[in-house]
Amino acid sequence: DIQMTQSPSSLSASVGDRVTITCRASQSISRYLNWYQQTPGKAPKLLIYAASSLQSGVPSRFSGSRSGTDFTLTISGLQPEDFATYYCQQSYSTPTFGQGTKLEIK
């Protein structure tokens, strides 16, 4: 299976900050990388697919990018509702998720 390694595992930030979460694949996955947001007690929500395409209805402060096997989720101008856990997921082969990044309020 392809391993997905997210960093950091946790992150503290303030409303209005710009934050970046990274996900590294253990092998080439082209652009087959999706990002999800999960708030406590809720199901995950698809934010970004194909590395950089914004899912319908997702605010434009969320963006994604790729450099080789490294993928980045950026949130520009954190809002209170953005404090959550974020997961990357590769869809190049049998789906696997990163271990998650918990974004907390500083």
Partner 1 sequence: QVQLVESGGGVVQPGRSLRLSCAASRFTFSSYGMHWVRQAPGKGLEWVAVIWYDGTKKYYADSVKGRFTISRDNSKKTLYLQMNSLRAEDTALYYCARDPGLAAAGDAFDIWGRGTMVTVSS
**For partner 1, which residue of 95, 104, 105, 106 counts as binding (CB under 8 A)?**
95
- Window of 15-23, 26-34, 65-73, 75-83 that interacts with partner 1 by CB under 8 A: 26-34
Q: Quick check: 98 binds partner 1 (CB under 8 A)? A: yes
User: Among 5, 45, 54, 63, which residue interacts with partner 1 (rule: CB under 8 A)?
Assistant: 45
Chosen residue from 17, 20, 24, 44 binding partner 1 by CB under 8 A = 44
The residue among 72 and 89 lying less far from partner 1, judged by its C-beta, is 89
Measuring CA to CA, how many Å separate 64 from each of 11, 26, 41? 18, 19, 25
- CA-to-CA distance for 71 and 32, rounded, in angstroms? 10
CB of 1 to partner 1, least distance (A): 8
Instruction: Look at the alpha carbons of 68, 72, 59, 101 in this order and tell me if their dihedral is positive or negative.
Output: positive
- For residues 104 and 11, what is the distance between their CA atoms, to the nearest angstrom? 6
